[in-house]
Amino acid sequence: MIDATQIILVCHAPLGSALHAVACHGFGRQLRDAIVVDVLDRQSKAEVSQAIESAWQEQGRPQAVLLLTDLHGATPSNGAGLWMTAHLHRDKACQVAGVTGVSLPLLLKALTYNTLGPEALATHLLTNQPDCGCRLEALA
């Protein structure tokens, strides 16, 4: 049983920070269940994966994680997919899922329903807002 799924926004800078700031404003408080990895244009997918790893470790290695990325097939989603692949192979106890195509409504819904596990949360987001995103898969 999880307390809350940790949401990691992995987006081209400064989109993730901007979405997080608006969500904090909307909820009227600093949101610790969502953290941001802003991706710079010069970063590789390996560097993005390492940035996600660092953020995950700084949060205390949460055992339930939902990655939200902006553009499917772009560096943030590719780096997130790489992190998912590496992470799923080394830490079987941690639950990880991802959705690409993040928007403010999708983020707010994810934060509202973050007591669901990552897979259930990803399914809920895509079932109830199918035009807002698609499933992010670990890279082979």
Dump pLDDT digits (tens) for 40-88.
999 999 999 999 999 999 999 999 999 999 999 999 999 999 999 988 8
Cα–Cα distance measured from residue 67 to residue 52, given in angstroms and rounded to the nearest whole number = 9
Residues with Cβ within 8 Å of residue 118, at least 6 apart in sequence: 5, 64, 65, 66, 95, 96, 97
Residue 89 CB neighbours (<10 A):
9
All domains in the chain, ordered by first residue: 6-136 (3.40.50.510)
Dump pLDDT digits (tens) for 22-39.
999 999 998 888 999 999
The pTM score is 0.90
Q: Tell which residue, 79, 33, 38, has the closest CA to residue 60.
A: 33
* Mean of the per-residue pLDDT values of the chain: 91
Residue 44 CB neighbours (<10 A):
12
Name residue, tokens 């809920």. 124
